[in-house]
Amino acid sequence: MNNFFVPSNIRPSCRAGLMLLASAALAGTLAIAGCSKSNNATSSAASGKKMYTICLLPKEKDIPYFTSCAAGARAAAKQLGDVKLIYDGPVHGAATKAAAMIHKWTLQGVNVIAVSPNDPDVLAPAMKRALKKGVHVITWDADGLPGTRQYFVNQASARRIGYTLMDTLAKDIGPHPKGPIAIITATLTAANQNAWIHFIKIRLKKYPGLKLVSIQPSHDDQRRAFQITQHLLQAYPNLKGIIAVSSAAFPGAAEAIKQAGQSGKVQITGLSTPDDMRAYVLNGTVKSVILWNTHALGALTIRVAEALASGKLKPGQKTFNAGPLGIKKIVGHQVLLGPLMVFNKKNIGKYHF
């Protein structure tokens, strides 16, 4: 019962992730080789242009969600022409390893470190130390603790994400949703996912027939999400729905529902890439997939980092010109990417990331 079968639709995305990782590793090697010992921008001998070293740190570098963001980041770096991009992060989401990378980059004197914190408490000392040493620090995808960054590149407000997830699951269950539901998250320390869950719970009050019975961490592992879902189906025979707020957990949970013969009976929605979820949408296991443009999130992060390093991003700005991405709102110190995207049978074939 606990054997994990990796479906064919997941394997290609993993292969694509490995290819992206290889490119990222090469880019990181070249960037590290060119790092200055101070955080002053270096100049390109060929063009005389100032070059800014920007480090992009994901929660976990080898899952498709983050490799997709990295692809957008590399494209933006190439378009800007003055960015040396280093993309690297822990393989299994270990916060201590992420903190060590921030420390290393601080010592190398890079210009900007863009962090997606997998554990804000663990990363806070390293992020504060980088700021004190004159390195610009921003967050993206997930925010850090107060005083650990200058800007947060946010895909959407936590309220919007949480409400959309809850409303979508209720709609997918049916006109009068009733019964137990569960949430599968990445870790219990992920600040962004905890914020989304907070708003899921608030929105749940709109649906008195539904009851949240379990919140389970998957540690961004498809196998673990598969096993957790099996256990949920056994523990709650009348389970009506699952919300997967981890992009890696969603396909694993969907596979468990499919293999249990519960497609169409237990609804599942969540956050993941259309490439990872397309087969489950087309076979009827999943009705709706929610996400944002991951390429655009990576690209916006690099553009904000470059503008901060070059002095083009000033305190108090209300908008940010993100080039091909358009004008983005700045609320406080949050640069907002834009609207969420909902993928279903009608449109999921149009998107590939």
Instruction: Give CA separation, 70 vs 105, 116, 329, in Å.
Output: 18, 12, 22
* Domain limit, last residue, from 291, 306, 328: 291
Does one domain contain both 309 and 287? Answer: no
Distance CA 141, CA 152 (A): 8
Domain assignment of residue 249, yes or no: yes
Distance CA 351, CA 147 (A): 37
CA-based nearest residue to 254, from 267, 237, 236, 240 = 267
pLDDT score, position 48? 66
Instruction: Give CA separation, 60 vs 257, 302, 312, in Å.
Output: 25, 18, 30
pLDDT score, position 91? 87
Q: Is 117 helix (H, G, I), strand (E, B) or coil?
A: coil
Distance CA 161, CA 276 (A): 19
Domain assignment of residue 344, yes or no: no
Does one domain contain both 147 and 192? Answer: no
Domain assignment of residue 345, yes or no: no
Maximum Cα–Cα distance across the chain: 67
Distance CA 190, CA 117 (A): 7
Domain assignment of residue 283, yes or no: yes
Range of the domain at 261: 158-291
Domain assignment of residue 315, yes or no: yes
Domain assignment of residue 350, yes or no: no
Encode the chain (353 residues) as per-residue pLDDT tens digits: 344 444 434 433 333 333 333 333 333 433 333 333 344 565 554 556 799 999 999 999 999 999 999 999 999 999 999 999 999 999 877 899 999 999 999 999 999 999 999 899 999 999 999 999 999 999 999 999 999 999 999 999 999 999 999 999 999 999 999 999 999 999 998 888 999 999 999 999 999 999 999 999 999 899 999 999 999 999 999 999 999 999 999 999 999 999 999 999 999 999 999 999 999 999 999 999 999 999 999 999 999 999 999 999 999 999 999 999 999 999 999 999 988 999 999 999 998 88
Per-residue DSSP letter, 142 = B
Does one domain contain both 147 and 187? Answer: no
Does one domain contain both 188 and 286? Answer: yes
Q: Is residue 56 within 8 Å of residue 66, measured between CB atoms?
A: no
Q: Is residue 109 within 8 Å of residue 37, measured between CB atoms?
A: yes
Count H helices, E strands: the chain?
10, 15
Sign of CA dihedral 220, 154, 311, 117: negative
* Angle, alpha carbons 58-62-64 (nearest 5°): 90
Does one domain contain both 144 and 52? Answer: yes
Does one domain contain both 83 and 43? Answer: yes
**Which uninterrupted H or E stretch holds 170?**
helix 158-173
Distance CA 191, CA 204 (A): 20
Does one domain contain both 312 and 228? Answer: no
Residues in the chain: 353
* Domain limit, last residue, from 255, 273, 291: 291
Domain assignment of residue 2, yes or no: no
Domain assignment of residue 201, yes or no: yes
Does one domain contain both 175 and 143? Answer: no
Q: Is 338 exposed, middle or buried (0-12, 13-18, 19+ CB in 10 A)?
A: middle
User: In CATH, what number is assigned to the domain containing residue 231?
Assistant: 3.40.50.2300
Distance CA 148, CA 126 (A): 9
Distance CA 27, CA 30 (A): 5
pLDDT score, position 352? 87
The pTM score is 0.80
The count of domains in the chain is 2
Does one domain contain both 149 and 162? Answer: no
Does one domain contain both 148 and 35? Answer: yes
Does one domain contain both 219 and 133? Answer: no
Does one domain contain both 18 and 142? Answer: yes
- Sheet strands (E) in 41-174: 42-43, 50-57, 83-87, 112-115, 136-140, 151-154
Q: Is 343 helix (H, G, I), strand (E, B) or coil?
A: strand
